[in-house]
């Protein structure tokens, strides 16, 4: 009966030795650009030599070796290492490889990735603050502000235009007077919703092109922010 727990412990130790084995969501490391956020389709590279693969992007904690000529999926990049998914001695593995062991990436592809990654970081910061900016997409605005109060659309030869309106309301007390069953004068307070601020966002071809605030200010005195427009990055 004692053999089973010993065997089970041995299996756990064996599994831990291959920390980069496929096990679900990618644990993201600081300073890396992750391609699943930016690419329409996965990028694949070939190993041009037997490639040691590591758990960390500083090439620490050896996991195994990817054989020469293998096609691997590129998951993330830093200036000094690429995260790939491939097959090592123990089976499927995901980890970091020195780029010298892989087909080189085109310089413009890497620059486009970096530009889109910088934009994405800006947009995520705006969304976290419930703010919008010129050139944000429909989906990004909805993440920042939620569903609009009102939507209108217009399509012509120049393209599609959408307008989303976000109206802020406040509850204002309203006092009314009447008489009770004894004829005494009594007052009743009810609360009604009154619009105190409206933000109209115009989209041209799915990107924010203008912001207009009326009936007070949702962000009084705020200057419109601008981010670069997103663009598709293909490998």
CATH of the domain at 168: 3.30.1450
Residues 172 and 203 in one domain: yes
Residue 210 located in a structural domain: yes
**Range 96-113 average pLDDT:** 94
* Burial class of residue 112 in the structure, from the number of CB atoms within 10 Å of its CB (0-12 exposed, 13-18 middle, 19+ buried): middle
Q: What is the C-alpha to C-alpha distance for residues 80 and 71, in angstroms, rounded to an integer? A: 20
Residue 143 located in a structural domain: yes
Contact 94, 26 (CB under 8 A): yes
**Range 116-142 average pLDDT:** 95
Residue 231 located in a structural domain: no
Q: What local confidence, expressed as pLDDT, does residue 221 receive?
A: 42
Is pLDDT at 6 greater than 80 in this prediction? no
Domain that holds residue 172: 131-219
DSSP per residue, 166-197: EEEEEEEEEEEEEE-TTS-EEEEEEEEEEEEE
**Residue with more model confidence, 174 or 69:** 69
Predicted TM-score (pTM) above 0.85: no
What is the tally of structural domains in the chain? 2
Residue 8 located in a structural domain: no
**Range 9-26 average pLDDT:** 42
**Residue with more model confidence, 21 or 143:** 143
Q: What local confidence, expressed as pLDDT, does residue 220 receive?
A: 45
Residues 201 and 143 in one domain: yes
Q: What local confidence, expressed as pLDDT, does residue 62 receive?
A: 94
Residue 124 located in a structural domain: no
Residues 51 and 100 in one domain: yes
Residue 28 located in a structural domain: yes
Residue 225 located in a structural domain: no
């Amino acid at each position: 009966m004692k053999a089973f727990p010993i065997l089970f412990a041995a299996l756990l130790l064996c599994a831990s030795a291959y920390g980069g084995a496929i096990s679900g969501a990618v644990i993201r490391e600081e300073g890396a650009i992750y391609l699943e956020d930016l690419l329409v389709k996965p990028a694949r590279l070939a190993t041009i030599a037997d490639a040691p693969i590591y758990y960390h992007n500083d090439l620490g904690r050896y996991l195994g070796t990817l054989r020469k000529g293998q096609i691997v999926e590129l998951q993330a990049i830093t200036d000094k290492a690429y995260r790939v998914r491939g097959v090592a001695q123990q089976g499927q593995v995901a980890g970091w490889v020195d780029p010298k062991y892989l087909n080189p990436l085109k310089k413009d592809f890497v620059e486009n990735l970096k530009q889109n990654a910088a934009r994405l970081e800006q947009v995520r910061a705006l969304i976290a603050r419930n703010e919008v900016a010129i050139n944000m997409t429909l989906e990004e605005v909805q993440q920042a502000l939620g569903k609009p109060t009102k939507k209108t659309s217009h399509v012509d030869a120049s393209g599609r235009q959408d307008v989303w309106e976000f109206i802020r309301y406040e509850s204002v007390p309203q006092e009314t007077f009447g008489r009770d069953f004894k004829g005494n004068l009594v007052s009743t307070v009810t609360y009604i919703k009154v619009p105190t601020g409206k933000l109209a966002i115009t989209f041209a071809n799915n990107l924010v092109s203008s912001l207009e605030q009326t009936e007070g200010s949702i962000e009084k005195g705020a200057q419109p922010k601008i981010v670069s427009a997103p663009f598709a990055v293909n490998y």
